[in-house]
Every structure is written in structure tokens, then in C-alpha cells.
């Protein structure tokens, strides 16, 4: 699908491609990142194909991903909507959550330099700092809006209650949370709260960390992952849980074949069919996968197909929780 054919959806005050690009994979969390040359080629190809929503964060590569995005896309800044995040960064080589106003403002200044831009279109509080009232964190971001350093405010991995508290301080443009067929936590309350408040929902990990794209076919594939790949610590990819989850893929792949699309495209088309206020941001390090993902914009799912998928893969049929205890402690999202 060419760029001119990519449908558009609202992202706060912006109109963006219905499928965006999550840039984390290029620097962070999935083992050895691609070479700088390969990462540059992928970013430029995404832009050429009509992607106008690029999502990064201070955390990714502890600044390296923002630097990459700025270096490669900075000269094309007028052609896309730029999203980044603060409130979770690398400190002394470790991930740290810090939502204090002064920290958020300093992180923004650093991000503007790395991203080679004068303004960030959408700036998220990456995680709720339980030691800092969300009203204080959002107040700092509201100051950045008034100063012209960011254009809109977002929240990541928050509950409906936290969203409402934040929205009362300053309008929230977007909430970003993991959402896919196998991670349905957003359906408890946040999706409805977003719809009610006019907030866009940005779905990260829409391909279930590659599982719904068929990237991992058997336990040996998990064993072969790089030691730094975050999936190694995720319960759904471990032992009996993973064996049980693999059994879901046969019927899932059959549905994709029946509909004339790939499994990855089916996962993204399901999200697009769930609501006009939902924007998936799949990540990838490969141009062929990028092209495949964008092709999902041309897959229209009927109500019957959506219902079949809902019944096949959901919180009751998937084995294992999505995060281990340490990672779970960092998020504010509702749990089943």
C-alpha cells in the first residue's frame, strides 16, 4: 500500500496515518539493535510509505532512540507527527521512574536536543510515579505546552481514574497502553474513558511482541532469543504457558488465510476495527515487515470476523500474565 492510500485518523489535534511506527525496536528491549544504517533505512522507508506518526521515548536506548530519530528524520520534521515520552529514563544504567516536575522539564530539554526539533508534538508521561501526584506531573507538562516546547500531552499505562485526574488539570490528547488480541486490559475501563473524554488510544505491542505475527513458532525460538530480549522475562513466553499459547495460532492463521491477509495484518486490522479512536504503532527492524504491517490498513474486517477473533484469543484463553512481578509493579493499568 502506497503512502497516498494510508487512511488517516485523529491523534489529538493532529491527523496521522492510521498505522504508526513504534521506534523502540531500533534501539531497545529486543536484543542487539540493527545497525545505524539499517535503522536509518527503515525510518526513511516508513516516511516514504506514508507513515506520519513516529513514537519514541527518552527511555529507549537511554536516549539513543531519540538521537536516532532526530538525526534521520530531523530534516523531514514538517512531514510527520512526533511523539516521545518522559518520566521513565535511564539513570546510572538502570531504568528509573521519576515524575517530579523538574525532572520532566529537564528530560524535555534533553529530548528537544536529541530530536533536533524545537517542539515535540505529543509528549507522554511514560509511567505514573506513585511518589508524585499525577496532577503535579501533568502540571509540569502543561507548563511545557504554554512554553511552546510540546503541543499535546499523553499518558502511558494508566488507569481510567488516573486519566480522569490528569484530564482535569490539562486536556489529555492520547493514552498509550499495550493492546492486542492477547492483552485486553484496556477493555476494562480505559478505552471507554478515552471515548468519553475524546482521548485517542494508541496501542503499543499490537502484534503481541511478535507472537501474533508468527515470529515464535516453538519453545526453541524463545530459547534462541538474545539474553537481553525482554520476552525472556515475560510469563506468556515461558514453559507451559507458551506451549498453551502456541495452540491458539493454528486457528488464528487459518482465519488470516481465509481473509486473504497475513497473521500480522489480521492483528492490526482487528485493532483498527475496534474503534476510530484506536491507533496501533507496531515496531519492527525489517523493511519487509514494515510493508506488511502497513498493508493491514487495506484489510477490512466484518463484525463476524471480529467476533471470531475475540472468542479465539482473549484474556481467558491466553495463558500467563503479561509482565513479571517487577514490571507489573511499574504500571497503573487495570488488571483482570
Task: Return the closest-CA partner of residue 280 out of 196, 169, 205.
Answer: 205
Rounded CA separation 52/46 (Å)? 8
What is the CA 128 to chain-centroid distance, rounded? Answer: 16
Catalytic positions are 60
- Quote the radius of gyration of the chain (alpha carbons, Å): 19
Q: Are 308 and 299 in contact (CB under 8 A)?
A: no
Rounded CA separation 76/121 (Å)? 14
Rounded CA separation 123/95 (Å)? 19
DSSP-derived letter for residue 35 is P
**Alpha helices (H) along the chain:** 36-48, 64-73, 101-115, 134-146, 160-169, 190-197, 219-223, 239-246, 249-259, 263-274, 287-294, 303-312, 325-328
Rounded CA separation 167/260 (Å)? 41
Rounded CA separation 176/81 (Å)? 15
What secondary structure does DSSP assign to 121-170, as a single string? EEEEE-S--TTS-HHHHHHHHHHHHHTTSEEEEEEES--HHHHHHHHHHS
- For the chain, report the end-to-end CA distance as a whole number of angstroms: 37
Rounded CA separation 283/39 (Å)? 12
Amino acid at each position: 500500500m502506497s503512502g497516498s492510500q494510508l487512511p488517516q485518523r485523529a491523534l489529538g489535534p493532529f491527523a496521522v496515518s492510521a498505522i504508526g511506527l513504534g521506534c523502540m525496536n531500533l534501539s531497545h528491549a529486543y536484543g542487539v539493535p540493527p545497525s545505524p544504517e539499517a535503522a536509518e533505512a527503515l525510518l526513511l522507508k516508513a516516511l516514504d510509505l506514508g507513515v506520519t506518526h513516529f513514537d519514541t521515548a527518552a527511555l529507549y536506548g537511554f536516549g539513543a532512540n531519540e538521537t536516532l530519530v532526530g538525526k534521520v528524520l530531523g530534516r523531514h520534521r514538517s512531514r510527520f507527527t512526533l511523539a516521545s515520552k518522559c518520566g521513565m529514563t535511564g539513570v546510572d544504567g538502570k531504568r528509573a521512574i521519576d515524575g517530579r516536575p523538574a525532572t520532566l522539564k529537564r528530560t524535555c530539554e534533553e529530548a528537544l536536543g536529541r530530536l533536533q526539533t524545537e517542539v515535540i508534538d505529543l509528549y507522554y508521561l511514560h509511567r505514573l510515579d506513585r511518589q508524585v501526584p499525577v496532577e503535579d506531573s501533568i502540571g509540569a507538562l502543561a507548563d511545557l505546552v504554554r512554553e511552546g516546547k510540546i503541543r499535546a500531552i499523553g499518558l502511558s499505562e494508566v488507569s481510567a481514574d488516573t486519566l480522569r485526574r490528569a484530564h482535569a488539570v490539562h486536556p489529555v490528547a492520547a493514552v498509550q497502553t499495550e493492546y492486542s488480541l492477547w492483552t485486553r486490559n484496556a477493555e476494562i475501563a480505559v478505552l471507554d474513558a478515552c471515548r468519553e473524554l475524546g482521548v485517542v488510544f494508541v496501542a503499543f505491542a499490537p502484534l503481541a511482541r511478535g507472537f501474533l505475527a508468527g515470529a515464535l513458532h516453538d519453545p526453541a525460538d524463545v530459547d534462541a532469543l538474545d539474553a537481553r530480549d525482554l520476552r525472556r522475562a515475560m510469563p506468556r513466553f515461558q514453559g507451559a504457558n507458551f506451549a498453551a499459547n502456541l495452540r491458539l495460532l493454528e486457528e488464528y492463521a487459518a482465519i488470516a488465510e481465509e481473509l486473504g491477509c497475513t497473521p500480522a495484518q489480521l492483528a492490526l486490522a482487528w485493532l483498527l476495527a475496534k474503534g476510530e479512536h484506536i491507533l496501533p504503532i507496531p515496531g519492527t527492524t525489517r523493511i519487509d515487515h514494515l510493508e506488511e504491517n502497513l498493508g493491514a490498513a487495506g484489510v477490512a474486517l466484518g463484525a463476524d470476523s471480529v467476533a471470531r477473533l475475540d472468542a479465539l484469543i482473549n484474556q481467558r484463553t491466553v495463558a500467563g500474565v503479561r509482565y513479571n512481578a517487577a514490571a507489573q509493579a511499574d504500571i497503573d493499568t487495570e488488571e483482570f
